[in-house]
C-alpha cells in the first residue's frame, strides 16, 4: 500500500516535469534526485575469493552448521554448507571455530558523540527545539571517531547512527558500513532507507519543560499529533507541486515517513507509552519500525508482535532514570518468546565493542527463566533483526547465498566472555585480522605513544 503510493507519486512528478518541456537531461532533476544529496560513495576494499572451511557456522536464519564451509566470491556469499567449495585464492581453515554474520548495531552515536568526549564533539542532538526533523545525523558524524575502529574489532560491520532523544522528532538517522573513510558519504550503506528518530517520555519533557514545552507526557503526545497533521498538509501540497511549492526540510522528513520511505526509530522506555505511540501511528497511518531502549517491552511482547514493531534493547541497563526502573535481565528473550522482533543495541561506545556478550548474558538469563532458545536463534538479535529493522535484510544480516559477505570468525564460542573476533570481513574484504595486526587507526590516534 505504502510502496504503491510512493510509486504513483514519483510517476506523477516525472510526468509533470515532462510536460514543462524540459529536455531529457534536465528531466532527471526529480524529487528522487534531490534526495540523493549526500549520496553514498561507499566502495569496499578489494576482496579475494575466499573459502572458510571447517567452521561452526551460525547463519543468522536460526540455523547452525556444526562443520561447514563458506565461499566468498566478489564480496558476496557464494555458497554455504558442508559441501560448499570452489577455487579460492585464499583458504582459511577455521578448525571448528565459530563463523557468524557481522554484527549490526541499530543504535549508536559513534561519530556524532565521538571520543574524546569534549564539548566540541557534542554533535549528536540538535537541542534547540522539540521538533528538529530537518536535521540529519550524518551531518554530525566525524569519520575519525576512534570508536568505529574499536567496534570493528568487536565484530560490528554495519551500524546505525541516530540523533539524540531530547526532541519529539529528532531528525534523520543514517546506516553506515563500519569502514575507514575520509567522509561519512564513504561509509553510507548504499540505498539503505533513511530513518527518523523520535522520542517518548522523560527526555523531551525534561529538556523543553522550561523552554516552551512539552512539559509533560500529555504535551509530548500533543506535539506528535500537531506535527503529523502539519505533515499531512505538506504532503498534499507536495503532491500538487507547482511554482509556489517550497520545500520544507522539517516536514519533508515527516511526509516521507507518512509515505513509508523513512523508517521510524523511536526512543521509548515504558510499556504504556509504547502502546499510546502505536495508536498515534494508526491515527496517522504510519509505521513504528522499532522502539529503542524499550526497557519495558517485555510487558507488551504480544502487542509488539500484533503491530509488527521491533524492540531494540540492552541486556541489563536499568534504574538510571525513572522510566528505566522496571528493567529486567530477560527483556530481549521475553520479547522474542512472545513472537515479536527483538534485538540488542548498544547506545554506547563501550557496549558496541562486545554486543555478543550482551546477547549471551540476556540469552542465558532467558533460558534460566524457563525459555528454551538456541544460540542460533538468539543470534538473530545481533544481526538479522537489526537488518530487518533498518530495511537492509535483503543485503546483509544473515549468511545466505547472494548477500554481502559481512562475516566474523571468532576465537571461541561468541556466547562467552572469552571469545574475540579474529577476522572481520566486510563485503568479502578483510578489514580486521588479529593474526597480522591489520586494523584501522583513526587520525586522532596518531602521534600518541611510542613513535617509530
Partner 1 sequence: MSVFKSFTLSLLLSAIALPAIAQDYFISNAKLVTNSGDGIINNADIIIRDGKVAQIGTGLVAPADAEFIKADGKWVTPGLIAPFSQLGLVDVGAEDATNDISSKDSETSISELASDSFNPKAVSIANTRRVGVTHTVISPRAAGESIFGGSGLIANLSGEFDSIEKEQAFIYVQLGGRGTSNSGGSRASSFRQLRAALDDAGAYPSRFKGPNDGDALSRQDAAALVKALRGQMPLIIASDRASELLNIVQLKSDYRNLDIMVLGAAEGWKVAADLAKAKIKVMVDPHENLPASFDQVEARLDNVVLLDQAGVDYVITNAGALGVSKPMTLTQHAGNAVGNGLDWNKAFSAITETPAKWFGLPSTEVSTGKPATLVVWDGDPLNVTSAPTMMMIDGKNQSLKSRQTALRDRYNPANQDTRPHKYR
Which residues contact partner 1 by CB under 8 A? 115-118, 146-147, 150, 202, 298-299, 301, 316-322, 325-330, 334, 337-338, 348-350, 353-354, 357, 360-361, 363-365, 368-371, 415-420, 444-445, 448-449
Closest to partner 1 by CB, 252 vs 348, is 348
Closest to partner 1 by CB, 284 vs 444, is 444
Q: How many contiguous H segments (helices) and E segments (strands) does the chain have?
A: 13, 16
Closest to partner 1 by CB, 86 vs 339, is 339
Report the nearest approach of partner 1 to the CB of residue 100 (Å): 16
Report the nearest approach of partner 1 to the CB of residue 30 (Å): 43
Instruction: Give the DSSP letter string of 362-417.
Output: HHHHHHHTT----HHHHGGGTTHHHHHHTT-TTTSSS--TTSB--EEEESS-TTSS
Extract the C-alpha cell encoding 72: 566468498
Closest to partner 1 by CB, 254 vs 409, is 409
Report the nearest approach of partner 1 to the CB of residue 409 (Å): 16
Closest to partner 1 by CB, 184 vs 419, is 419
Question: Pick from 173, 166, 98, 192: which is nearest to 382 by CA?
Answer: 98
Instruction: Give the DSSP letter string of 150-215.
Output: HHHHTTEEEEEE---SSSSEEEEEEEEE----SSSTTTBPTTPPPEEEEE-THHHHHHHTTTT---
Closest to partner 1 by CB, 241 vs 319, is 319
Q: Distance between CA atoms of 427 and 431, rounded to whole angstroms?
A: 10
Report the nearest approach of partner 1 to the CB of residue 31 (Å): 41
Report the nearest approach of partner 1 to the CB of residue 265 (Å): 21
Q: Are 137 and 106 in contact (CB under 8 A)?
A: no
DSSP tag of 135: -
Report the nearest approach of partner 1 to the CB of residue 302 (Å): 9
Amino acid at each position: 500500500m505504502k510502496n504503491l503510493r510512493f510509486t504513483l507519486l514519483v510517476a506523477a512528478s516525472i510526468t509533470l516535469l515532462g510536460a514543462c518541456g524540459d529536455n531529457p537531461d534536465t528531466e532527471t532533476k526529480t524529487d528522487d534526485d534531490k534526495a540523493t544529496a549526500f549520496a553514498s560513495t561507499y566502495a569496499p576494499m578489494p576482496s579475494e575469493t575466499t573459502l572458510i572451511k571447517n567452521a561452526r557456522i551460525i547463519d543468522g536464519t536460526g540455523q547452525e552448521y556444526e562443520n561447514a564451509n563458506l565461499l566468498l566470491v566478489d564480496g558476496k556469499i557464494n555458497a554455504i554448507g558442508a559441501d560448499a567449495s570452489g577455487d579460492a585464492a585464499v583458504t582459511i581453515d577455521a578448525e571448528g571455530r565459530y563463523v557468524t554474520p557481522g554484527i549490526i548495531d541499530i543504535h549508536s552515536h559513534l561519530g556524532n558523540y565521538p571520543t574524546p568526549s569534549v564539548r566540541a564533539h557534542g554533535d549528536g542532538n540538535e537541542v534547540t527545539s522539540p521538533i528538529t526533523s530537518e536535521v540529519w545525523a550524518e551531518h554530525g558524524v566525524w569519520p575519525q571517531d576512534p570508536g568505529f575502529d574499536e567496534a570493528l574489532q568487536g565484530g560490528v560491520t554495519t551500524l546505525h547512527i541516530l540523533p539524540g532523544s531530547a526532541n519529539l522528532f529528532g531528525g534523520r538517522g543514517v546506516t553506515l558500513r563500519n569502514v575507514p573513510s575520509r567522509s561519512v558519504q564513504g561509509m553510507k550503506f548504499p540505498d539503505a532507507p533513511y530513518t527518523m528518530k523520535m522520542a517518548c517520555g522523560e527526555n523531551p519533557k525534561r529538556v523543553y519543560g522550561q523552554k516552551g514545552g512539552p512539559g509533560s507526557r500529555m504535551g509530548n503526545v500533543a506535539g506528535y499529533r500537531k506535527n503529523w497533521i502539519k505533515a499531512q498538509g505538506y504532503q498534499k501540497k507536495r503532491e500538487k507541486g507547482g511554482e509556489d511549492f517550497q520545500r520544507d526540510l522539517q516536514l519533508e522528513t515527516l511526509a516521507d515517513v507518512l509515505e513509508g520511505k523513512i523508517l521510524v526509530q523511536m526512543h521509548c522506555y515504558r510499556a504504556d507509552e509504547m502502546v499510546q505511540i502505536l495508536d498515534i501511528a494508526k491515527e496517522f497511518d504510519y509505521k513504528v519500525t522499532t522502539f529503542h531502549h524499550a526497557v519495558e517491552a517485555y510487558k507488551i511482547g504480544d502487542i509488539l508482535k500484533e503491530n509488527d514493531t521491533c524492540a531494540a534493547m540492552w541486556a541489563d541497563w536499568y534504574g538510571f532514570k525513572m522510566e528505566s526502573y522496571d528493567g529486567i535481565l530477560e527483556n530481549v528473550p521475553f520479547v522474542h518468546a512472545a513472537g515479536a522482533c527483538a534485538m540488542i543495541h548498544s547506545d554506547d561506545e563501550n557496549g558496541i565493542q562486545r554486543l555478543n556478550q550482551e546477547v549471551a548474558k540476556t540469552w542465558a538469563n532467558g533460558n534460566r527463566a524457563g525459555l528454551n532458545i538456541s544460540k542460533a536463534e538468539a543470534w538473530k538479535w545481533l544481526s538479522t533483526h537489526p537488518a530487518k529493522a533498518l530495511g537492509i535484510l535483503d543485503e546483509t544480516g544473515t549468511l545466505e547465498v547472494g548477500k554481502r559477505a559481512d562475516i566474523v570468525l571468532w576465537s571461541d564460542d561468541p556466547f562467552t566472555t572469552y571469545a574475540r573476533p579474529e577476522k572481520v570481513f566486510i563485503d568479502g574484504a578483510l578489514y580486521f585480522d588479529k593474526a597480522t595486526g591489520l586494523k584501522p587507526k583513526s587520525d586522532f590516534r596518531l602521534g600518541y605513544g611510542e613513535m617509530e
